[in-house]
Amino acid sequence: MIEDLLRHRPRPEGAWAAFEGRLRREIRRRRTARLLSRAALLLLAGGFAAALRTGPPPASPLLRADVPSAAAPLFTPQGATALCPSDAVVLLLEVPG
């Protein structure tokens, strides 16, 4: 594109400013394209490295057994309306010894 512009450089002096503007725009476009292609290459390399680092999945399925939180209540009734009506009480206590 730049080569084309230079080849067809306008002779009349008044058109020089327009030509220069077109030239600048083209240079900017090329610079942006170069930056984008470099970023894409970097991303690709990063992804490849991450995939290599991840390695194969574990051979056996891992156990998903959530450790109880310190704030977990001792008992959480499920289906409270059906199983724990308002007149029922579910009470827990730890008996020492």
| Residue ranges binding other proteins (CB under 8 A) | 53-55, 57-58, 62-70, 72-79, 82-96
Rounded least distance, CB 84 to other proteins, Å: 8
Rounded least distance, CB 10 to other proteins, Å: 31
Asked whether the beta carbons of 77 and 84 are under 8 A apart, the reply is yes
Q: Quick one: 8 or 60, whose CB is closer to other proteins?
A: 60
Could you give the CA distance from residue 23 to residue 7 in angstroms, rounded to a whole number? 12
Could you give the CA distance from residue 66 to residue 64 in angstroms, rounded to a whole number? 6
Could you give the CA distance from residue 61 to residue 78 in angstroms, rounded to a whole number? 29
The residue with tokens 């002779």 is: 11
Rounded least distance, CB 51 to other proteins, Å: 9
Q: Quick one: 14 or 85, whose CB is closer to other proteins?
A: 85
